[in-house]
Amino acid sequence: MRALIQRVSQAEVTVDGRSTGRIGAGLLVLVCAMQGDPDDAPAKLAVRIAKLRIFRDEADKMNRSVTDIGGSVLVVSQFTLAADTRTGNRPGFSSAAPPDRGEALYLDFVEALRTLGLTVATGEFGADMKVALVNDGPVTIWMDSTDRA
């Protein structure tokens, strides 16, 4: 699974003009299931993200996690994170998991974050979503579940 993680002071996702998820301080996580992702990828990625120390401590160092600050997470499915741009001008997305598998892994990821005690809001899988955010820092981190055992 791939994730683009943004530290935010607020974020919201809407579908057809209605809000499906909104958070204050925390993380906006754009996530994509990839072909070949194992069943345990969502849980492993959730643990890594929950422990990611990208929030400021008292010494103004990035030393606290979203769990430490009591922040929330807004999770938005985004198959375009699978974009292959090595050739041509039009990205290919064949490395993304098929929609049924992608949705199952996405839902498992959301549930894994909740199991870790985080408050989680979501977008709507497969929908045309509008995402608004205030990136705090800005801090944006790229993570891939295959980068670490």
Q: Which residues are part of the catalytic machinery?
A: 78-80
User: 113 and 50 in contact (C-beta within 8 Å)?
Assistant: yes
Spatial separation of the C-alpha atoms in residues 77 and 140, rounded to whole Å: 17
Crossing angle of helices 99-115 and 41-51, in 10° steps, is: 40
Angle CA 81–119–97, to nearest 5: 25
Amino acid at 130: K
